[in-house]
Structure 1
Amino acid sequence: MNITCKGNQISKYFADFLVKRKGVIDASEYKVEIRSYEKLQNYCDCPDFKKNFLGTCKHIEKIVNFKKPSGNLNSPYIEIFLDYSDDINLKVAFPQKIDPAAKLFMLKYLDANKEFKSPHNDVLQVFMRDMESGADPSIFNYIRISDAVAELNRENIIKENINRIQTSHKESIRQNALSGKFLKFPVYDYQIDGMLHLAFSGRAMLADEMGLGKTVQAVAAAALMKEYLNVKKVLVVSPASLKTEWEEQIRKFTDLSTLVLFGPREERLKAYRETQAFFILTNYEQIVRDYEDINNLLQPDLVILDEAQRIKNWKTKTASNIKKLNSKFAFILTGTPIENKIDELYSLTEFIDPRIFGSLFRFNRKYYNFDAEGKTFGFKNLRELHETIKPIMLRRRKDEIAEQLPERIDNNYFVQMTPEQLKRYEEHAYRVSILMSIAKSRPLKPEEHDDLQRRLACMRMLCDTVYILDQTITDSPKVDEVIKILNDIWDNNPERKVIIFSEWVKILELMMNQLVDNKVIFSWHVGTVPQEKRRDEINNFKNNPECKVFLSSDSGGVGLNLQAASVVINMDLPWNPAKLEQRIARAWRKHQKNSVNVINLISENTIEHRMLATLGFKRELADGILDARADFGEIEKPDNRNKFMERLASIMNTSFVEVPGQEDNKEQPLQNNEEQVPCEEKMKQELSVATPPELKICNGLIDSKTGALKGLFAVSNNPETKEKLNDIAKKSNISSDEGVLLINEETYALLQKLSSMGIISFNSSNLSEIYKTKETQVEEEPVWKKKKVLAASIYKKASRDYKMARLLKEGGFDEEYRKPLIDSIKSAAKALFILANESLLEKEPELIPESSIERICSVLKVDADLGFILKLCYSVNEDIASTYPGIYDLTNQIHEITEAKITGYGL
């Protein structure tokens, strides 16, 4: 390992060092800051240090052992750094001998424990500004600030800026998006929530179920960030087959410039260097090779990973290189954050913020159970895992949104294999059974494990057709069955379009030959089709009424919008349910106008047949962590993992044993972020560091025409406060025409009294609160009171509807009373939902998720029978719900308990 001292250093031991692996071409170089040879106060910008929470790494240990001085083991500087040893905390370390002027300078930012005063972020910003512009050079030389502290300060400024914009503009943005003023077309309310989540989280994941329009939400969020957060370049990384889809969606909803990146490396480099486009559309294969050039030449403000399951396997080169992309903001879009294992979620989250989970070792120890041999046998702490990802991940299911999707009808068609298929299938099955018997007594050798995987794959191929393995045999009962299905479909409706999916291209070739023989026009979309040609195939299927069939491998099962089709035929079943849902979601999604038929072709009495009952555990695991729908306790039981293995074994009708460089962070000087922080915010921060004596209140005086700060209004009994406030105002770049208007506490109390009597009035719209002492602050109304007020206002409507229903019922209107009765139950459920929900809702929801009924029953202790009635009214036709036996009497109980819960809530 090569170690070199970086730059001009006063001390050769307590300095910044560059570390690089010796003898490795293109090895990454990391910067190490050494401030102690005995305490965990050092820093390295390598990925491992930032997420292992040990406070050290191999690069630091190498230097500490190589350079250790014989004398003082701690830095001679005042060190400002982040402590990574357990959590991430801002720390200050003083040397044994300290310059008096430097100590006096530092103490005004610190409390009695010599830690930064609260609020830490505000005080840190004041300190950093003073170091950049106001510190005496002699003092500056005694203070050393870690790069990590400077980066934390930049992150805080960005977050605060986002929060200010969100507070000021959120509702106007929502209304503009709903009305179509912000984008070319209005979007759905839930899509606006997704847009706001992405834009105002900065680095976030959108994990909506397939078909809910993640692309549109990301495009809208990027456009929003261009307007409010000065985002200038957006790099979109998607599967190659989806670049055209992105181009279409961007053009449809915005007028923003777009570059679709094709061509050899020389052309791509030229584009990275010269493009002025806002959106740059690339695919994963390009990024694996080009990530360094993108960081150096393109320097995107925002990176969007679409169908981000491509980086879920943290071991792959794709995942490793994608995570080396540098950007201020980042979005991850995926409908399947978990397909097989929970550490797939770890890899996705690592791209957003590697500090959320720390190292993979730490993640596995926290959420997996291990036996004495170190093998996993179940899960633990899954509820905590759900809560950990909740702030960065937004996920909605199709059954949660108010606008209902068209009907989906699933059917399984079972076909018999030919004698030749069966013979070859059983040959592989026999060998698989032998391998699984071996696995009972010992772990399989690598070559045995490979043989097992290969033979299982062959068995699945043979379920489709022998032709996949032997092109001399073209028989396929599945292909014959599809031709019959197509004839039946078109006999009933000749306009219907069909998507046919298979994992294997060879059976699609047989299907293509049959379509040609039957003179059926089709589109061909498989991995070997060039990207430009794929675009033509997709557009032909969408726009040509004569093109009735879309033949696609799983390359088309991701991301494409093919609502022109209303039938999806799966020639085979993928191993995991998420891939199956991805296929179906190409047609069954928003804007689909017709009901969708899903037809799964299954070879009888085969591995494929028995797979139908084996995939529930994976779906339940994903539901539990992502949606908090499943029973965490049941999933975490150690024997449940064993049951899952038993279900896998049932596929074979035998027992089964489980077979066992971060891109360089360039050195950056302390940046001047003055323009990002409003003047009044700076004033607040300065007052948190040094508050003038006896200051009670300080408000900004706002010019009603320009919105600019034109002066300060303050309350204090000390006349010197005015001069000190003037000094702080100048430091905060406030040039006030009016200066500081100072009154004493007695005068302020008199004005308040005159205002309460109606003699005078305050125009609070022209005041901006900057500072208040605790005794002058009006305590904000607690959340439970706000919930109670909102629930009571919603229940008023429920009460009116129930009263109307009773009057109609008693008047003999046996049909007319039913609708207001059901409406009253729905409104009562909304009121209960407001009380039971974890967070405060801003307004009455249009509908509530059916899944929330369970939370109402659990949190508010509502009887299960009444909970069933609430769920019934939301999940079935109103006419059916209104005829449920005893519904009238049960409604009375619902209203009694709703009134009681609202009255007693918070008491």
Structure 2
Amino acid sequence: MSNPDTASLTSTTNPAIEAADATPHDLKATTDLNPTEDDTKSDDVEPEEDDEEDNLFTSIETSEQEALGKTEQASGHDATAAPTLLKDAITKGEVDVDESEAEEEKGEGLGEEKKGEEHVHHRTNQLEFLLNKASEYSNFIANDLAELQSGLAAEAELALKREEKKKRKSEGGDKKKKKRKKNDGEPTEGEVNLAAAQTKHESGLAGKKPIFIQPANLAEGCVLKDYQLEGVRWLVSLYENGVSGILADEMGLGKTIQVGLVISLVAHLRTMAVSGPFIVVAPLATLPNWVREFEKWLPTHPVVRFHGTQSERDEMMAGPLNPKNKKKDDFPIIVTSYEVAIRDEKRLNKIGEFTYLVVDEGQRLKNHRCTLISSLKRIRSSNRLLLSGTPIQNNLDELWSLLNFVNPAIFDDLSIFQSWFGFKNIGQKVQGATTEEDILLEQRQNQTVTKLHEILRPFLLRRIKKDVLTDMPPKKEVVVYAGMSKLQTGYSEMIEKGVLRDILLNQGIEQARTLSQTNKQMNHRKNCNHPFMFGEPIDPATGNPLGTAHPQLLIKASGKFALLDRMLERLFKDKHQVLIFSQMTSLLNVIEDYLILRNWKYCRIDGSTKIDERQRQMDIYNAEKTANGGKRNDSDDRHFVFLLSTRAGGLGINLATADTCIIFDSDWNPHQDSQAMDRCHRIGQNRPVAVYRLLTVNSVDVEMMEKQISKKKLERMAIVGGDFRKAGSRSRGEFNDQALTNLLEADVKDLQSKGADAESVRIDDDEFEMIMNREKLFAEGDGAIPSEGKMYDVLDSNKGDMLGAMHA
């Protein structure tokens, strides 16, 4: 179905899209770099990217997985084995290994009980040694920054004194000139502006300690903000101390910010006569942006996009990237894709050893077994930097994988890391899960969580929007609950009995032939969204699809759709613009039918949308923010809705025009949903942002939300609680038991009981008014609405929402 009045060029009935929805291939392409137990539960989700990189990784992973498994079975992992740094320390006598352990290593053996005691003792020694080393690194970095700031403050004070002296001299100058100026009357606008600028400059010099001097070779007009300067200085400190790091700034700060930091680091190193070569490995779609920003910020240094056909790459290697010239000052900075990094690993090593290897979207390395991380490890480099807004997505093993990549001599044994920090499935009712009480007890007895923070501290820097973007409008997230329609209830019973496919086929719904009845969980997820996802029934009277013959049935067939319809009518009336996210492209097709029914203009991006078309639609949507002489277009002909698939949004999609985000169905991975929200709550937003998450009560939606809460507890405990805003030290006081307790609290309590005591499983008019009226929703203090209602929950932004960074 198409609509000439919409910006969407994607057909709602495209059979290729529908076929992709019904197969697990797309999911495999999404998760082959970083599979998790939860990701494998979805066979109808949108891939993160639909390009040759994913296809390449899929084929390589499939062929290598079996061989890898056999190798690991044969070799195994000894939990008492020490990382390289520890082995050296043991050899030098820096870590104690008592005689009984030495005897055991010689094969003389010990009793089982004694072995256990010595094993714990050995692990404790290793952990304490690494803590000491981490503390040394942190102190180096913190002291380095303190000394630098002190020196720059002294320079600033001298500059201020020179300015004051100059001013006094000027005031005692030519009296005739002064008199003439007085007779001229009021100062001109230019003079007023100049005076204001001078005052601002002087007050800045007097009241602020400079953090870092911007590299002089950056282009004129490219000015770094204070927190960017601090980030550059942290990177320089890592370089000077011989360690590598992870820049994990919160999503929503913008890709350009991180790109600018990397370019400034390279610029600084060049001013210090540090020769390259330098290489950036990034997703294919971001390569043009990297090249463009290097040319903008550092135009004096050449940059080459190492991509294209084999012959084109051969030509580059023979020309500007000839390894013979790698130590020359004008040797280009290399920007390449993951795919080429894998294919041309050996040729890149002819250029290396690289001074810096930078990996963008570093969370792709979270699976320590993936081909990408193995290939990048083999590219020789003296320093590595990962850029990632999501250093933890599912478990601590992923964090170890990133640490192992940047500092393999310190983190080279996963089993040891697991033995120290074995937290998993926090608060979940599954076997082997860690309870909140377990974590609190570990912290009280062994300071385990604090030790995790201190080991990470020198290698991780994470700034958050609340601190950096002080003028960022607030965001409120509301979970809104919906019931099931009678049709959904009937489908749910048929799914449980395993008869849904047969009954739908008997009703003439041919699309049901592709329905798998073995994956009940996925079928329940589809049913929670809309029963037409299994195929739309035909109206016997007209022979047309039911939703076409009776449009209102399209809405009434789903509890979430009935709620969505109610919300969108209010949002349209109140002049808002809305992003709607779903994991399933087939659901986006159903929503398109609904939007056409309502005659609302919309745009759409999913995994099949090409890069140029993505940009075109974003331009159309965002242009209306400055329409009509600079005023937002609030008229009825505006593009009211932008439809997006949750996992097709990792390529710099900026939709700050919208001030409302609706998560129609949640992802197993909370960071996918968090990234979705950041499409509108980011730099450039000038309105408060309301996020509405739709959940069907007594359904698989609740199970997914509980899993998200568990994963966010892990991230809060490990990353947010660590307070990595400032390089080398905490910025907000000491970490204590109460802070940990707060971090481990659930944002929505007792999800299973929601809707159970409501007379009708539908939000009532009073509650609906509270969450949809922006003044009421964003009111504070006595005027704030209750955080918990019968059919909604407002997440506490001060404590930290489920899907954003907690500000401890």
Q: TM-score, normalised by structure 1?
A: 0.46
After superposition, the Cα gap between the structure-2 partners of 1:465 and 1:253, relative to the gap in structure 1 and judged at 3 Å, is farther
Distance in 1 (alpha carbons) for counterparts of 2:662 and 2:232 = 33
Distance in 2 (alpha carbons) for counterparts of 1:647 and 1:267 = 59
Q: Secondary structure at 1:84's aligned position in 2?
A: helix
Q: Secondary structure at 2:604's aligned position in 1?
A: strand
Q: Give the corresponding residue for 1:531.
A: 611
Q: Give the corresponding residue for 1:199.
A: 236
Q: Does 1:326 align with 2:390?
A: no
Pick aligned residue for 2:522 from 440, 457, 462:
457
Q: Does 1:186 align with 2:249?
A: no
Distance in 1 (alpha carbons) for counterparts of 2:604 and 2:309 = 25
Distance in 1 (alpha carbons) for counterparts of 2:298 and 2:407 = 29
After superposition, the Cα gap between the structure-2 partners of 1:181 and 1:215, relative to the gap in structure 1 and judged at 3 Å, is closer
Q: Does 1:236 align with 2:280?
A: yes
Q: Give the corresponding residue for 2:712.
A: 619
Q: Secondary structure at 1:605's aligned position in 2?
A: coil
Q: Does 1:466 align with 2:495?
A: no
Distance in 1 (alpha carbons) for counterparts of 2:340 and 2:519 = 30
Q: Give the corresponding residue for 1:542.
A: 622
- Give per-residue Cα distances to partners, 1:480-506, cap 9 Å, x unaligned: 65455444334332xx54322211111
- Give per-residue Cα distances to partners, 1:296-349, cap 9 Å, x unaligned: 357653322222221112232233333333323322122221122111110011
Q: Secondary structure at 1:542's aligned position in 2?
A: helix
Query: How big is the shift at 1:410?
Result: 2.2
Task: Quote the sequence identity (%).
Answer: 23
CA contact (8 A) 1:312 1:344 kept: yes
Distance in 2 (alpha carbons) for counterparts of 1:316 and 1:224 = 29
Pick aligned residue for 1:209 from 244, 250, 256:
250
CA contact (8 A) 2:83 2:412 kept: no
Structure with the greater alpha carbon radius of gyration: 1
Q: Give the corresponding residue for 1:292.
A: 346
- Give per-residue Cα distances to partners, 1:823-864, cap 9 Å, x unaligned: xxxxxxxxxxxxxxxxxxxxxxxxxx999xxxxxxxxxxxxx
- Give per-residue Cα distances to partners, 1:605-660, cap 9 Å, x unaligned: 322145445533322221222232698869999xx99x99x989999x9xxxxxxx
Q: Give the corresponding residue for 2:464.
A: 397
Pick aligned residue for 2:264 from 214, 223, 237:
223
Distance in 2 (alpha carbons) for counterparts of 1:251 and 1:593 = 30
Distance in 2 (alpha carbons) for counterparts of 1:570 and 1:465 = 15
Q: Give the corresponding residue for 2:491.
A: 424
Pick aligned residue for 1:410 from 458, 474, 477:
477
- Give per-residue Cα distances to partners, 1:512-561, cap 9 Å, x unaligned: 34445556554432222333443444444434666554322222156533
Distance in 2 (alpha carbons) for counterparts of 1:547 and 1:343 = 43
Distance in 2 (alpha carbons) for counterparts of 1:315 and 1:573 = 27
CA contact (8 A) 2:255 2:652 kept: no
Q: Give the corresponding residue for 1:507.
A: 587
Pick aligned residue for 1:317 from 358, 367, 371:
371
Pick aligned residue for 2:644 from 552, 555, 565:
552
Distance in 2 (alpha carbons) for counterparts of 1:649 and 1:488 = 29
Q: Secondary structure at 1:608's aligned position in 2?
A: helix
CA contact (8 A) 2:218 2:264 kept: no
Q: Give the corresponding residue for 1:62.
A: none
Q: Does 1:387 align with 2:387?
A: no
Distance in 2 (alpha carbons) for counterparts of 1:464 and 1:190 = 42
Pick aligned residue for 1:307 from 361, 368, 376:
361
Query: How big is the shift at 1:221?
Result: 3.4
CA contact (8 A) 1:308 1:332 kept: yes
After superposition, the Cα gap between the structure-2 partners of 1:460 and 1:353, relative to the gap in structure 1 and judged at 3 Å, is same
Distance in 2 (alpha carbons) for counterparts of 1:207 and 1:193 = 14
Query: How big is the shift at 1:390?
Result: 0.2
Query: How big is the shift at 1:182?
Result: 6.4
Distance in 2 (alpha carbons) for counterparts of 1:308 and 1:323 = 13
Distance in 2 (alpha carbons) for counterparts of 1:273 and 1:542 = 43
Query: How big is the shift at 1:193?
Result: 1.6
CA contact (8 A) 1:340 1:576 kept: yes
Q: Secondary structure at 2:378's aligned position in 1?
A: coil
Distance in 1 (alpha carbons) for counterparts of 2:380 and 2:421 = 29
After superposition, the Cα gap between the structure-2 partners of 1:210 and 1:89, relative to the gap in structure 1 and judged at 3 Å, is farther
Q: Does 1:340 align with 2:421?
A: no
2:231 partner amino acid: G
1:237 partner amino acid: V
Distance in 2 (alpha carbons) for counterparts of 1:257 and 1:539 = 30
CA contact (8 A) 1:206 1:214 kept: no
Q: Does 1:53 align with 2:53?
A: no
Give 1 or 2: higher strand fraction: 1
CA contact (8 A) 2:215 2:267 kept: no
1:624 partner amino acid: M
After superposition, the Cα gap between the structure-2 partners of 1:616 and 1:232, relative to the gap in structure 1 and judged at 3 Å, is same
1:507 partner amino acid: L
After superposition, the Cα gap between the structure-2 partners of 1:175 and 1:397, relative to the gap in structure 1 and judged at 3 Å, is closer
Q: Secondary structure at 1:337's aligned position in 2?
A: coil
After superposition, the Cα gap between the structure-2 partners of 1:513 and 1:393, relative to the gap in structure 1 and judged at 3 Å, is same
Q: Secondary structure at 2:458's aligned position in 1?
A: coil
Distance in 1 (alpha carbons) for counterparts of 2:739 and 2:92 = 35
Q: Give the corresponding residue for 2:573.
A: 491
Query: How big is the shift at 1:586?
Result: 1.9
CA contact (8 A) 1:303 1:331 kept: yes
After superposition, the Cα gap between the structure-2 partners of 1:184 and 1:176, relative to the gap in structure 1 and judged at 3 Å, is farther
CA contact (8 A) 2:232 2:264 kept: no
Q: Secondary structure at 1:303's aligned position in 2?
A: strand
Distance in 1 (alpha carbons) for counterparts of 2:278 and 2:287 = 14
Distance in 1 (alpha carbons) for counterparts of 2:218 and 2:536 = 57
- Give per-residue Cα distances to partners, 1:561-607, cap 9 Å, x unaligned: 33233222211112233222211112212332221121222223322
1:339 partner amino acid: Q
1:625 partner amino acid: A
- Give per-residue Cα distances to partners, 1:248-282, cap 9 Å, x unaligned: 65566554655556644544554466456855444
Q: Give the corresponding residue for 1:131.
A: none
Distance in 2 (alpha carbons) for counterparts of 1:279 and 1:562 = 31
Q: Give the corresponding residue for 1:606.
A: 699
After superposition, the Cα gap between the structure-2 partners of 1:533 and 1:358, relative to the gap in structure 1 and judged at 3 Å, is same
After superposition, the Cα gap between the structure-2 partners of 1:506 and 1:365, relative to the gap in structure 1 and judged at 3 Å, is same
Q: Give the corresponding residue for 2:656.
A: 563
CA contact (8 A) 2:481 2:697 kept: yes
Q: Give the corresponding residue for 1:585.
A: 678
Query: How big is the shift at 1:205?
Result: 0.9
Q: TM-score, normalised by structure 2?
A: 0.51
**Equivalent residue runs for 1:92-241 within 5 Å:** 167=148, 171=152, 174=211, 177=214, 184-202=221-239, 203-213=244-254, 215-229=256-270, 230=274, 232-241=276-285
Q: Give the corresponding residue for 1:84.
A: 87
2:221 partner amino acid: K
Distance in 2 (alpha carbons) for counterparts of 1:403 and 1:178 = 25
After superposition, the Cα gap between the structure-2 partners of 1:425 and 1:603, relative to the gap in structure 1 and judged at 3 Å, is same
Q: Secondary structure at 2:687's aligned position in 1?
A: coil
Q: Secondary structure at 1:458's aligned position in 2?
A: helix
After superposition, the Cα gap between the structure-2 partners of 1:329 and 1:483, relative to the gap in structure 1 and judged at 3 Å, is farther
After superposition, the Cα gap between the structure-2 partners of 1:354 and 1:224, relative to the gap in structure 1 and judged at 3 Å, is closer
CA contact (8 A) 1:497 1:565 kept: yes
After superposition, the Cα gap between the structure-2 partners of 1:649 and 1:549, relative to the gap in structure 1 and judged at 3 Å, is closer
Distance in 2 (alpha carbons) for counterparts of 1:273 and 1:480 = 63
- Give per-residue Cα distances to partners, 1:176-212, cap 9 Å, x unaligned: 5499976634343222222222233132111122112
2:484 partner amino acid: M
In angstroms, what is the RMSD of aligned CA positions?
A: 5.1
Distance in 2 (alpha carbons) for counterparts of 1:266 and 1:480 = 56
Q: Give the corresponding residue for 2:418.
A: 364
